Amino acid sequence: MPNDLNPFARVAYRDGQLLTAHDLRAEKFYEDRLRWLHVVGLHATWGIVSGLTVSGNSGERMLTVAPGYAVDIEGRDLLLADEMKIPLPDVLGPAAFVLTVSYQPDAKFRLRAQLAQVCLHEGQSRPLEQPEFSWQQPAEVCFGSQIPLVKVEVSGGALQGQPDVRVRRYAQRATTPFIGWGSTEPEQTGWTMRDLFVGLKLFVESLWLQVRVDTTEAGFTQTPDYFAFLCGYGVNNPERLKTDKDIQAALTSEPEATVFLSHLSFIRDQSALGFTYKVLRQSDELPGAPGVPITAAQAEQLRWRIYWIGVEPNSDCPQTVPFLLSVLPFFGAAFS
């Protein structure tokens, strides 16, 4: 057993071991700490989860707080198991106060039973769970460690008007989508040329210039919405790159550019692990059709690469894609 309540010391048992209250507290603190870290690290929220409603009428000297549950900024549980009456501040007033709840360690409300003898059941202390309530001046509330429930006006120790619930802070589910991004390596993107088949019959040879983009490092758990930018020399007008001279001119006399899914390119075969970016090539078998005239090797020479963004929405943010479309020009400017 650990010698103190170290939150990161795992508790281990062995057969025949004598357990003390210290050992059981150590185990409880270890489990509590892991749960608190989970709330802080993965949910990043604090406030009222449910209940903890406050009621009271003008002229009364007490408020009633209903049972409920909240978490503070450190992820600690604030549980009120039974209804509680809270006396109003005994001040002449008029003055404004905020009723807050905060985490209360076991030692603050544990009743120490006076046991006549050592026994297994009689005299055991099992107080109902409750947080610590306190009245604060509005400017003195420590938001996060203290969770505001209600604001009141007090005069002569009695409530004036109705409690103001606008100060209540509620814990929220995460509504931010998961966003991952990355790029392929210049001159090592992995461009290839692919034929077009109709059924099992070759229809057009080397019609597509394409690359499979690996997004596994982003850690998507479901297929995201992908947005891709083509970056490199000559991407803003690729149809003119017909000869080696045109390619050399693009490499020596023009800056690199960035385009977002031109009329010649598109994405397909999306999954949580990646997507395929395809660019239409010019073909003698389709005279007059648009397309880029370069080969896969020339695309590498021109440093053509893919910058990509993947947005994995959750059920609480269905409007993510329209929003992202509105800001994509800014991403494009950053990549160029």
Residue 127, pLDDT score:
62
d(CA 279, CA 161): 69
- pLDDT for residue 252: 86
> SS3 breakdown of the chain: % helix, strand, coil, rounded to 5?
20, 35, 45
> What would the DSSP string read from start to end of 56-94?
--TT-SEEEE--EEEE-TT--EEEE-S-EEEEPP--SS-
DSSP string, 203-217: EEEEEEEEEEEE-GG
197 Cβ neighbours under 8 A, 6+ residues apart = 203
Mean pLDDT over 38-44 rounds to 74
Mean pLDDT of all residues belonging to the chain: 80
In this structure, which amino acid lies at residue 100? Answer: T
Q: What is the CA radius of gyration of the chain?
A: 33
Q: Kindly list the structural domains of the chain, giving each domain's residue range(s) and its CATH number in brackets, ordered by start.
A: 1-44 (no CATH), 45-109+126-167 (2.60.40), 178-335 (no CATH)
Predicted confidence at residue 114, as pLDDT, reads: 47
Residue 214 has pLDDT above 60, yes or no: yes
pLDDT in tens, 10-31: 777 788 888 887 777 777 777 7
The pLDDT of residue 1 is above 60: no
Of the candidates 214, 186, 140, the one whose C-alpha atom is nearest the C-alpha of residue 335 is 186
What pLDDT was estimated at residue 108? 64
Q: 283-309, pLDDT tens digit by residue?
A: 777 776 788 888 899 999 999 999 999
Under the banding of pLDDT at 50, 70 and 90, the label for residue 107 is low
Cis peptide before 87 (omega within 30 of 0): no
Q: Tell me the mean pLDDT in the region 236-248.
A: 84
pLDDT at 327 > cutoff 80:
no
* Mean pLDDT, residues 143-160: 90
CA atoms of 208 and 230, how far apart (whole Å): 15
Q: Report pLDDT for 264.
A: 82
Residue 316 above 60 pLDDT? no
Q: How many CB atoms lie within 10 A of CB 157?
A: 13
Report H helices in the chain: 21-38, 106-109, 244-253, 296-301, 320-335
Compute the average pLDDT of residues 26-50: 79
Q: Contact 294/302 with Cβ under 8 angstroms?
A: yes
CA dihedral 136, 142, 146, 150 (to 10 degrees): 50
Q: Give the pLDDT confidence score for residue 336 in this predicted structure.
A: 47
d(CA 128, CA 87): 20
